[in-house]
Amino acid sequence: MFEFMRKPISLKNPSLYLIPVCVWLTVLTGSIRGQEEQGQKIDFAKNIQPILRASCYSCHGQDAQEGGLRLDNRARALVGGDNGKAIVPGDVDKGLLLTLIKGADEDLGRMPPEGEGTPLTENQITLIENWIAQGASWPDSADIAIASNHWSFQTLEQPELPPVKQQDWIKTPIDQFVLARLEEKGITPSARASRSTLIRRVYLDLLGLLPSAQEVEEYLNDQRIDAYQQMVERALKSPHYGERWGRHWLDLARYADSDGYEKDRARPHAWRYRDWVINSLNADMPFDQFTIAQIAGDMLAEASVSDRVASGFHRNTLHNTEGGTDREEDRVKKTVDRTNTFGTVWLGLTVGCAQCHSHKYDPISHREYYQLYSFFNSINEQDVSAPTLAESASYESQKKQHDQAHEKLVAARVKYEAEQLPAALEKWLEVDANLVYQWRPMDVTAIQGKHAATFKTLEDGSILAEGENVRSDIYTIDGRAQKLTGIRLEVLPDDRLPKKGPGRAENGNFVLTDVKILARKADSEDEFQPLNIGSALADFSQSNWEIAKAINEDLADGWAVSPEIGKRHVAVFQLEEPIALEGGVEFRVILNQQYETGTAHNLGRFRLSHADFDGVLALEGTPAEVLGAIQAETRNEQQTNTLLSYYKQLDEAYQQLVSAEKEHADKAPAMPGTKAQSVVELATPREAHIHLRGNFLTKGEKVETKGLDVLPGVATEGDSLTRLDLAHWTVSPDNPLTARVTVNRVWQRYFGRGIVETSDDFGVQGAEPTHP
């Protein structure tokens, strides 16, 4: 039946061959249907791929991917298009392919559309449906690799030099390509320019400035063979080179000194990135390092200040500070901008055209755009300390001088500790050790309030006021002692109080307007007699509410501690004269909290203790471990060290040395305050999704972090791809675009027009290269 296929086909009467072809197709379809009915596995290459090739590849193949769907490649077919998965192996109820070829959805229509191909027959649809039900087996042998024959996507190769006639005109291999085109057009090369013209061209191209008269004179009189090269080297050493060529790069990096939008606030640290670009060009930094530092400098191992400044490349986006701005929308816009800028600057592609739908011309699907977007999706903005080299050098010099002087002060203190402090301690123990004392916890015998407050004694001996908090309460606390010289009041934080206290006011504060101490002989019925309080001392007082006002007889003021709320504070009230009575002293402490403005400002949690020391009382008494060491007949090493540490606070000569050391330390040179805009990568990456029609609120399927399929894959040494992997890939030999795009821009700046005229578009719609 296939004998006719061995004979030449006549185009004069093609109808002669229609009948046998139709018969063959009918037999083939019937055979396939029979295979399916018999439960035989459907062969993709023989049964399915021909259908896709005939009806689908024109819109969903290598040359076009309508709706982001490609059906000639297994991986892309299974991933799906802009609207979701097309094929779900083993599940005919999921995936859009069957819906489209059946025309089951009026809104989506039927595929192929009218005028683009012949609709599939029922037998063909059934065949595809059964193939999917069987698991959609697609062997490697039938897979078509993703590739493009577009010139810019091809691997870089060293082209052969074209033959030329005027060999003596050639100075570099590039000259040979230029001369070949000139000879092809019958054009004779221009005569060599004069030295004065050459130096003018070089200086304008490299520096944007005319050479000085002295520089021109030096070049004109230079008789060396390499005079031109020497002149170029002198120009390249000028700091103006980085300024001139830095402008070109800063334009690509969309550098700006303000945020943009309506507020357009100034960016005080933006200049650090600008200067980094200029300094990098002047230092002749290799382009691969220049690239990696900007794309992912913050992710480098042990990233330097310079690396972090370089990654400020990503901070050149617009920044919206208007009222009511959606922070997530602004972040997404910045991420889109970073994605598009990367595509333009290093790939020379209009990847932004795939933000809302698959690219109409280049092989970049909607999904691939968000795969690339994912590399930049986990960036957080961060300002970092970034002193300049001059600032760092100045700081290091000042710090060195300061450290040298400080070492002398430290050495003097250490010497005193080793040679004189032990002897001074022994003398103190013999003469003045009786001056130590402790604050003794108050043995509370009674406590009451003026109003409805109740009191709870806690394990540490402190008292918690509970119950109704009535304004201007008065707490009365009774205790006993053998001798009394002063009272210590500790006000304490507690989670049960507003703002953790120590007061019961809504803001955690209190107002202690008056403190009274009364006494009588213990176990007597005598009236309590007031004692004179000679002084009051506190660790902290609120402005205009000093501790002294708690003993001044004026109930319109007092002691308070805002804004140091939620912390322990201490006050000491020392009597003018000690009191000691035979049989002991019973004393009463009255805490008046009269406050008529606003809510009640009563104490919430407090603790009272007393002292019998005749000297000046301090906030903290002598620690128990010090007392134990003093009283020990034979001291161990730990007790000796305890005494030394305590005595250091009492020894005036030692304290003078410590003060001098501290004062000098406070004068240490400060680190330069210069900062730079930078970025940091999130520890846990954000998930990236397709934004349907470019709307970040309408999320499609989740996408993996990945490059563009038409280009060599991005490799990683870790578990997942990162921005640093993308940076290394960008400048790898496998990437055919970065070198082409970058060299073309340099050529454009020197000669006014690039080898590819569309320097930002190396895609299908871009211009063809003029050479080679």
Q: What is the pLDDT of residues 555-578, one digit of tens each?
A: 999 999 999 999 999 999 999 999
In a domain, 222, yes or no: yes
Of 189, 216, 240, the one marking the end of a domain is: 240
**pLDDT over 70 (residue 38):** no
**Same structural domain for residues 684 and 643?**
no
**pLDDT over 90 (residue 180):** yes
Q: What average pLDDT does the segment 727-734 reach?
A: 96
**pLDDT over 60 (residue 9):** no
**pLDDT over 90 (residue 628):** no
**pLDDT over 90 (residue 584):** yes
**Res 580: pLDDT:** 94
Residue in 586, 544, 554, 568 with CA at minimum distance from that of residue 489: 568
Q: 189-207 b/e with 16+ CB inside 10 Å = b? A: eeeeeebeebbeebbeebb
In a domain, 30, yes or no: no
**Same structural domain for residues 54 and 113?**
yes
Q: What average pLDDT does the segment 464-478 reach?
A: 96
**Res 119: pLDDT:** 80
Q: Model confidence at 476, in pLDDT bands (50, 70, 90)? A: very high
**Same structural domain for residues 456 and 593?**
yes
Q: Model confidence at 314, in pLDDT bands (50, 70, 90)? A: very high
CB-CB neighbours of 620 under 10 Å: 12
**Same structural domain for residues 264 and 375?**
yes
**Res 11: pLDDT:** 29
**pLDDT over 70 (residue 35):** no
Q: Model confidence at 4, in pLDDT bands (50, 70, 90)? A: very low
The CB-side HSE value for 141 (13 A sphere, CA atoms) comes to 4
Q: 362-383 b/e with 16+ CB inside 10 Å = b? A: bbbbbbbbbbbbbbbbbbeebe
* Percent residues over pLDDT 90 in the chain: 69
**Same structural domain for residues 99 and 175?**
no
**Same structural domain for residues 54 and 173?**
no
Cis peptide before 89 (omega within 30 of 0): no
Q: What average pLDDT does the segment 483-488 reach?
A: 95
**pLDDT over 70 (residue 34):** no
In a domain, 278, yes or no: yes
Q: Do 608 and 571 contact (CB within 8 A), yes or no?
A: no
In a domain, 8, yes or no: no
Residue in 590, 584, 562 with CA at minimum distance from that of residue 487: 590
Residue in 466, 441, 409, 422 with CA at minimum distance from that of residue 657: 409
Q: 580-610 b/e with 16+ CB inside 10 Å = b? A: ebeeebbbbbbbbbbbeeeebbbbbbbbbbb
**Res 695: pLDDT:** 95
Q: Could you tell me which residues come within 8 angstroms of residue 394 by beta carbon, excluding any fewer than 6 positions away?
A: 672
**Same structural domain for residues 225 and 353?**
no
**pLDDT over 90 (residue 518):** yes
Q: Model confidence at 624, in pLDDT bands (50, 70, 90)? A: confident
The type of residue at 107 is D
The type of residue at 442 is M
In a domain, 759, yes or no: no
Of 219, 240, 261, the one marking the end of a domain is: 240
Condensed to tens digits (0 to 9), the pLDDT of residues 112-143 reads: 887 776 788 888 888 888 898 888 888 887 77
**Res 761: pLDDT:** 96
**CA–CA separation, 285 and 297 (whole Å):** 14
**Same structural domain for residues 576 and 597?**
yes
**Res 298: pLDDT:** 97
**Same structural domain for residues 276 and 176?**
no
**CA–CA separation, 731 and 292 (whole Å):** 8
What token pair was written down for 529?
Answer: 């007699």
Distances 450 to 215, 468, 734 between C-alpha atoms, Å: 95, 11, 86
**pLDDT over 90 (residue 355):** yes
Better pLDDT: 61 or 688: 688
Main-chain dihedrals φ then ψ at residue 128, nearest 5 degrees: -65, -40
Per the structure, the complete domain to which residue 522 belongs is given by 439-619
Better pLDDT: 26 or 257: 257
Q: Do 519 and 531 contact (CB within 8 A), yes or no?
A: yes
**Same structural domain for residues 292 and 273?**
yes
**pLDDT over 80 (residue 519):** yes
**Same structural domain for residues 67 and 114?**
yes
Condensed to tens digits (0 to 9), the pLDDT of residues 87-97 reads: 888 888 888 88
**Same structural domain for residues 271 and 327?**
yes
In a domain, 770, yes or no: no
Residue in 509, 512, 511, 608 with CA at minimum distance from that of residue 566: 509
Q: Model confidence at 39, in pLDDT bands (50, 70, 90)? A: low
**Res 623: pLDDT:** 78
Of 207, 240, 273, the one marking the end of a domain is: 240
**pLDDT over 90 (residue 685):** yes
Whether pTM > 0.85 for this model: the answer is: no
**Res 434: pLDDT:** 67
* First-to-last C-alpha distance (Å) of the chain: 53
CB-CB neighbours of 460 under 10 Å: 9
Task: Average the pLDDT over each of 319-328, 421-430, 757-766 and give the range with the smallest value.
Answer: 421-430
Condensed to tens digits (0 to 9), the pLDDT of residues 376-420 reads: 999 999 999 999 989 999 999 999 999 999 999 999 999 999 999
Mean pLDDT of the chain: 89
Residue in 245, 229, 232, 313 with CA at minimum distance from that of residue 282: 245
Alpha carbon 128 to chain centroid, angstroms: 49
**Res 529: pLDDT:** 95
In a domain, 33, yes or no: no
Residue in 6, 55, 47, 14 with CA at minimum distance from that of residue 28: 47
**pLDDT over 60 (residue 22):** no
**Res 16: pLDDT:** 32
Q: How many domains does the chain have?
A: 5
The one-character DSSP state at 547 is G
Main-chain dihedrals φ then ψ at residue 299, nearest 5 degrees: -100, -5
In a domain, 107, yes or no: yes
